[in-house]
Amino acid sequence: MSKYEKEILDTVALHGTVSVMALADQLKVTDQTIRRIVKPMVERGEIRKVHGAIVAVNESNDPPLTKRLVANRQEKAIIARTVAEVVPNGATLAIDTGSTSSFVAQALSQHRDLTVVTNSAHIAAVLALSEGNQVYMAGTQLRSHDGAAFDQSAFEVVSRFTVDMTILSASLVHPELGFLANDQHEVDMAIAMSRIADRRIMAVDHSKWMARKANAPLRMPVMRPDDILVTDRAPDAAYDDLLADLDLRLPRH
C-alpha cells in the first residue's frame, strides 16, 4: 500500500465520507490524481466511490452519540452509578468513547483527584471540571458524530499511561463470540486501553445482550478473570460460560 493510499484510507475511516477535493488539498495533488489513486482501492473493496466523494465501506452502524445518549438513558444512568461505586477517589482511569461511558463520566463527576485519559472530548470536558482531577485528552482530530479521536496521537498518548482501571463499553454481547463492536477504530482503542490497565470494567445495558450475531461483527478484547462486568439486569443462562470468571455487578435495588 502506497503512502497516499494509506493516508486516504485513514482519512476516510476517520470521517466516514470525504470529498475528492478535500483529499486533493490534504495530499497536495490534483483531483485527477486522487481519482487515479482510489480506482484500484475501490476495485479491491477498501472504499466506495460516490459522486465527488469517497466513502468508508465499514462506516459505523452505531447512531450518533446524541441519539445514543437518549436511548435506554435510565438503565445507563443506573449502570453508571454502579461503576462509580467501584471507582475510589484518587484512581487512575482510561475511559473509552460511547454513550454508556458518557453516563459513567457524569456519575464520576463527584469523585475527587482522579487521573483520567480518554479519547472522548465529551468525557474529558465532564471530568476536567471536577476538583483535583487531571484529565488528558488522547488525540487531536475528532469525529463529527461522537467527538472521539482515533488518530495516531490518540494511541500514542494512551500508550504512555498505566492505570488502575479501564472502563469500556460494547455494541453487543453474544454468548459465544463475546463482546462485540461495529467500529474497528473503537476495537483498536479498547485493546490499547486494556493493555495499560490492572483491571477492566465493561459496562453494557440489557439491550446489548443478544443471542444472535446481528450487525456488530468485530470482537472486543477478551475479558480477563476477575475483570468487572456491570449491567442493569442479570443475563440469562446462555451467557454463563462467557461470564464464569468475571466479577458481575448488578445495581442494588
Which cell numbers hold the place of 47?
A: 472504499
For the domain made up of 3-56, the CATH class stated in words is mainly alpha
| 133-147: pLDDT as tens digits | 999 999 998 887 788
Of the candidates 66, 61, 53, the one whose C-alpha atom is nearest the C-alpha of residue 145 is 66
Buried/exposed 96-126: b ≥16 CB within 10 Å, e otherwise: bbbbbbbbbbbbbeebeebbbbbbbbbbbeb
| 182-228: pLDDT as tens digits | 888 889 999 999 999 999 999 999 888 875 555 557 889 999 999 99
How many angstroms separate the first and last alpha carbons of the chain? Answer: 55
Tell whether the model's pLDDT for residue 243 goes beyond 80.
Answer: yes
State the pLDDT confidence band at 15, using cuts at 50, 70 and 90: low
Q: Where are the domains of the chain?
A: 3-56, 65-249
Predicted confidence at residue 68, as pLDDT, reads: 56
Q: Span 65-249: which CATH code?
A: 3.40.50.1360
Amino acid at 194: S
- 47 in Cβ contact with 35 (< 8 Å): no
Strands 92-95 and 134-137: unpaired
| 85-120: pLDDT as tens digits | 999 999 999 999 988 999 999 999 999 999 999 999
Question: Under the phi-then-psi rule, with left for phi > 0, alpha for psi from -120 to 50, and beta for the rest, what region is 120?
Answer: beta
Q: How many Å apart are CA 144 and CA 228, to the nearest integer?
A: 31
Predicted confidence at residue 156, as pLDDT, reads: 96
Establish whether domains 3-56 and 65-249 are of one fold. Answer: no
